[in-house]
Structure 1
Amino acid sequence: MGTSTIETVVPKDQIKQNEADHPLGNSGRQEIEAHSEDDISNVLRYANEHEKTVNIISGGTKRGYGGTMKEADILLSLAGYKGVVEHSVGDLTLTVRPGTTLKEISDRLAEHGQCLALDPSWPELATIGGIISANESGPRRLLYGSARDLVIGTRIVYADGRVIRTGGKVVKNVAGYDMNKLFIGAMGTLGIISEITLKLRPLPKYEGLSLLHFPDDREQEIHDFAKRILDSMMEPVSLEVLTPPTAEKLTGKRQYTLAIAFEDQEKAVSQQEKWVADNLPSGVEQTILHEQNASEWWDAFRRQSPNGHNDGTDDTITQAALKIGSLPSDVPGNLKKAEELAETHHVSVEGHGGAGHGISRIYINGLSEDIIAYIKALRSEAEKKQGYAVCTHLPYALRAAADVWGEKPAYFSLLDGIKRTNDPKKLLNRQRFVGGI
């Protein structure tokens, strides 16, 4: 195959010259649409033999996440490789192709009274392959975990075109080392996920949302109240703290707000909401939403972030997003610091964070140079508390200056070794992940 061309590998109608420069980068000189696992395998085998770099895209919501190489030789699109492979209703498992959007999965499962307990942003655009590759999650991570906790097995196409299976198709699969963990969150740098098996949950019988509006400068009180809930017998699905600008957009009240979600039988939800009402700190208001109203509120919540499709055309305003990892107890303080630094760096920010899981999201608008300075300042504050800050959305031109991933982690040599083993020519999503992997 040494003298072959890409036209001998996939049909011509799946190959096109790519668009002009994309502001988020992560492009390719040729875009190839994969319609099957064989397509993925054949393209990677060709790329490996001809030493062609390959970027991977599906829904495009992560296009601004990582990557300091503007374009590869090939942009391999998985957007058309979608659909359910197998849904075992009785076993509560689903096997699905990577280009399937989260909304498509949710709609299919709802017909059977089931759900996938993942709630990242923009579910109608975000595909399951991208969600798994970035280990994305949302507020429900508090009770149900992240993408990493819900994957039972995968099929992976290595950089040389070989296909392997990791894990299995049943929840109780425990044989051997769990290789799934290698590929979840690796940003497509170790192999391409061609099939994913996930564990499901029954749809909740009843859904409630309590919004607690705290007067100014009471972030310690928010932490204390969240801790009381976590230490109690209750089982909140989320304990999400909203900054005042975010709360104003979603609730109409410009105050720090704690969003507490409960999912259970209606009586159990009501009892937990009553406990919250009976134990409210003085001066704190409670707004309660149920069922459709609660669901619609969360739909609006999931449409806040830049998504790879909604960057504005105004060159003077840049959109960026940060993910901050910290101790859950540091979340209210981190959000407060994010607001304070926004004033001194002349950017506007909105944000929210999990008071029970420690992941915060900051969405930033402003001038490019101000955003870079802001990111560095906020990262420094996070690192002082042994946390981290990662840029999850930033135009290509700024990503190197912002140092998207921050300092290399202590385990970087292990990651680097795995990359060299799986992809020795560094062809897959080159420079997309931590440390330039």
Structure 2
Amino acid sequence: MAKPQTIAELANMVRDTTGPIVPRGAGLHQGIGNPAHADSTAIDMRALNVVSDYIPSDLTITVGAGMVLGELQEQLAVHRQWLPWDAPQHRHATIGGLLASGLSGPLRHGAGAPRDWLLGMHFVTGDGRIIKSGGKVVKNVAGYDMHKLHIGALGTLGIIAEVSFKLAPLPEADESITITGMSIEHAHKIAYVLRKPPFNPSAFLIEATPHHIRLWVRWQGAAAAVTRQVNIARARQPIAKATTTGSWDHLLNTPFNKSHGHAVQLRIGCAPQSLESFYPALQEIAPNATMHIMPTVGIIRLYAPQMPDVAALRAALLPFGGYVVVEIGEDPARWGPTPANIAIMRQLKKAWDPDNKLNPGRYVIE
């Protein structure tokens, strides 16, 4: 497996390779999308893991895409800073791999998606060009945000080599509560009550398994404010129980533990206000699934031992304009119906990867 040490070396490797190319980080998300070609050349990105520019007083950082997100957070914590991104498997997954896979977590409710913190990027095209998009500073007005097109594109438009983020001060306090003993619909209603002032949480997650329903709520910020908000919420919901911050890591990573037997992983999405109407059909079609529902974001991650009726899920979502993507598992229609903007997507692919070398066939554009 090729392992470039610099971006220039990566570009040369791509330019000199004639067949299909598969960029890899930790290899944790290679199951997302269609399988790679058997004759593909794998490029290991993990040597591109250097922080090339970091001035803590500026609250910005530039880092190689091969760095593990958890390691970056550890370096930032020394300066009481962090990147508000709670992607699953963040202690092992690389930044480039997580961006290319489009993965984020419940903190998306309060902090926004990773794309909202991304300032710029260097990526390598299929013909070996190094392209810079965006910049390294917050007040950057140079050109279009073309780098954001690579988020969730699975490395089919270019290989993410280096990224720049804006940062946030590390929260002084981080507290959570859980509420159990209710239906998914009831948990959704509670989340929509608590999302408004004076509660103002940072994150919500409904953990739904065949055995229990649990609503997780998280607050981050100044200690006095967090304590006040948690106390108000617990007064409104007396059955709420306090939980530790580390419990979120365990919760988000548990479905990826092989001992849980989840051979199938789906990503389901629609407008948050439509989720409540979709729950009955979801529970009927996939009664044995474990689900992580972000009710105020409109994303459901579904884990199951066997593939549910994906066609039925898509039909149930049709009135709400939603989608179902088969991230892991055997299904001939992993991406669902062809999107209306497919022509634009194919033009971008042709412009940046004219010989169709980068992960050919893996994404919806082919």
Q: TM-score, normalised by structure 1?
A: 0.79
Q: Name the counterpart of 1:361.
A: 301
Q: Name the counterpart of 2:135.
A: 168
Instruction: Give the letter for the 1:231 counterpart.
Output: K
Find the residue that maps to 1:434 and give its secondary structure.
Answer: coil
Corresponding position: 1:269 with 2:226: yes
Find the residue that maps to 2:255 and give its secondary structure.
Answer: coil
Matches within 5 A, 1:256-295: 256-280=213-237, 285-289=239-243, 294-295=244-245
Q: Give the alignment partner of residue 327 of structure 1, picking from 268, 271, 287.
A: 271
The 1-side partners of 2:222 and 2:36 are apart by 50
Pair 1:336–1:100, CA change in 2 (3 A): farther
**Structure 2: which 5+ residue stretches go unaligned?**
none
Deviation at 1:232, TM superposition (A): 2.4
Matches within 5 A, 1:27-426: 31-47=1-17, 51-215=18-182, 217=183, 219-245=184-210, 254-280=211-237, 285-289=239-243, 294-306=244-256, 319-332=263-276, 334=278, 337-343=281-287, 348-366=288-306, 371=307, 373-394=308-329, 398-399=330-331, 401=332, 403-426=333-356
> 1:371-413: per-residue Cα shift (whole Å, max 9, x none)?
1x5333323323332111112223xxx24x2x11111111111
Asked if the contact 2:127/2:354 (under 8 Å) is kept, the reply is no
Instruction: Give the letter for the 1:229 counterpart.
Output: L
Deviation at 1:336, TM superposition (A): 5.1
Deviation at 1:243, TM superposition (A): 0.6
Corresponding position: 1:430 with 2:360: yes
Find the residue that maps to 2:318 and give its secondary structure.
Answer: helix
Asked if the contact 1:331/1:353 (under 8 Å) is kept, the reply is no
Deviation at 1:113, TM superposition (A): 0.6
Asked if the contact 2:345/2:365 (under 8 Å) is kept, the reply is no
Instruction: Give the letter for the 1:327 counterpart.
Output: A
Q: Which has the larger radius of gyration?
A: 1
Q: How many residues are treated as equivalent by the alignment?
A: 366
Asked if the contact 1:135/1:146 (under 8 Å) is kept, the reply is no
Q: CA RMSD in A?
A: 2.1
Instruction: Give the letter for the 2:200 counterpart.
Output: E
Deviation at 1:277, TM superposition (A): 2.1
**Structure 1: which 5+ residue stretches go unaligned?**
1-30, 246-253
The 2-side partners of 1:332 and 1:122 are apart by 28
Asked if the contact 1:240/1:258 (under 8 Å) is kept, the reply is yes
The 2-side partners of 1:61 and 1:69 are apart by 14
Q: Name the counterpart of 1:249.
A: none
> 1:267-315: per-residue Cα shift (whole Å, max 9, x none)?
21121112212323xxx721013xxxx2210120121233xxx657x9x
The 2-side partners of 1:45 and 1:263 are apart by 46
Find the residue that maps to 1:435 and give its secondary structure.
Answer: coil
Deviation at 1:335, TM superposition (A): 5.0
Asked if the contact 1:239/1:355 (under 8 Å) is kept, the reply is yes
Q: TM-score, normalised by structure 2?
A: 0.94
Deviation at 1:362, TM superposition (A): 0.5
Asked if the contact 1:158/1:192 (under 8 Å) is kept, the reply is yes
> 1:74-129: per-residue Cα shift (whole Å, max 9, x none)?
11111232121221201111111111111111111111111111111111221100
Identity rate, percent: 29
The 2-side partners of 1:178 and 1:364 are apart by 36
